[in-house]
Structure 1
Amino acid sequence: MAATVVVALAAAAVVALRDGSGRGGGSSTAVEPSPTVAFVTPPTAQVRPVHEALHDIDAACGTNGGHSGRTSLTRDVDTVIDFSRRYPEARFPIDDETGSTLSLLLVTRQSMRDCAPALAARVDRALPPDYRDAALTGS
C-alpha cells in the first residue's frame, strides 16, 4: 500500500511539472515552479493525517474498486482539502518521497475518479484553476 502512495505522488509530481498534458488548459508550455514561491514544510503532526488519508483512500478505492466506506472517504477527502487550504505551497516527506500540496490534490482526485466521482469533483475544485478537469466540474 505504501508503494502505491509513493508511486502515485511521484507520478502526480511529474504530471504537474511536465508539459501541459497534466494541466486542464492543455498548454504546451512547460510548467515550472515559480522562483518566487516559498515552500513551507508543515509539521509532521499535520502531515500524518494526510498520509493516513491517502492510505485509507488507496485501501477503499485502489484494491477493491471502492464504493464502500463513503463516510470514511468523505472524511479522508476533507482531511486532504483542509490540509491544502492550510498549506497551499507545501513540500513534505511522505513515505520515501517528497510530496507537495499540488501533487497531494492530484493524487487524491485521480484516486477518487472511479471510486467516488462526486468526491473527485470536490478535490478538483480545490485545485488551482489551471489543473482543474472540466469533465469533473461541468465547466
Structure 2
Amino acid sequence: MVAPYTLPKPTQKPPRDRVEAAHKALHALGRACKVPAAEQGQDAVRRPLNELETFAQDFPAGGFRIDDEPGTTLALMIVVWDQAQEPVLPNMCRRSRH
C-alpha cells in the first residue's frame, strides 16, 4: 500500500476504457506471478506488462479510480514493481525483453 499523501497530485484523467484495460492487465500479471515460468508462455507476462507500460507512458500523471479506490499511475507502477519481486516474474520479465 502506498500512502496517498506521499505521491504527487495527478494532473491527467485517463479515459475509463484505458483504466479498465490497465486494471485487467494488473490482474493478469498477478495471475502470471503465481504460475511457474515453465508452465506458461512468455505472453502471459509480456502482454500485461506491455499494456501497463503503455498506460504509464500515455498517462504518467494519471489519476483514476479502480474498484472505487483512488489511484495514480505512479501508485499503479509501484504495485507492478512489487509484483515483479515475485519469484516467477523476474525470470519471465528478463526473457520477455529479448
The bucket for the TM-score relative to the shorter chain is 0.7 to 0.9
Question: Residues 62 and 72 of structure 2 are in contact (CA less than 8 Å); yes or no, is this contact kept in structure 1?
Answer: yes
User: Aligned residues: percent identity?
Assistant: 27
Question: Residues 60 and 69 of structure 1 are in contact (CA less than 8 Å); yes or no, is this contact kept in structure 2?
Answer: no
The yes-or-no answer on 1:49 pairing with 2:21 is yes
Q: Which amino acid aligns with 1:109?
A: W
Match of 1:81 in 2: 53
Aligned residues: 91
TM-score, normalised with respect to structure 1: 0.56
Question: Residues 10 and 61 of structure 2 are in contact (CA less than 8 Å); yes or no, is this contact kept in structure 1?
Answer: yes
Q: Which amino acid aligns with 1:77?
A: L
Match of 1:97 in 2: 69
Paired residues for 1:14-93 under 5 Å: 14=3, 17=6, 33=8, 39-61=11-33, 64-67=34-37, 68-93=40-65
Unpaired segments ≥5 residues, structure 2: none
CA, structure 1 residues 83+65, in 2 after alignment: closer, same or farther (shift >3 Å)? same
CA, structure 1 residues 79+14, in 2 after alignment: closer, same or farther (shift >3 Å)? same
Unpaired segments ≥5 residues, structure 1: 1-10, 18-31, 123-139
TM-score, normalised with respect to structure 2: 0.77
Give the Cα–Cα distance (whole angstroms) in 2 for the partners of residues 16 and 58 of structure 1: 26
Q: Which shows bigger deviation, 110-119 or 48-57?
A: 110-119
Give the Cα–Cα distance (whole angstroms) in 2 for the partners of residues 98 and 106 of structure 1: 14
Match of 2:90 in 1: 117
Give the Cα–Cα distance (whole angstroms) in 1 for the partners of residues 82 and 10 of structure 2: 26
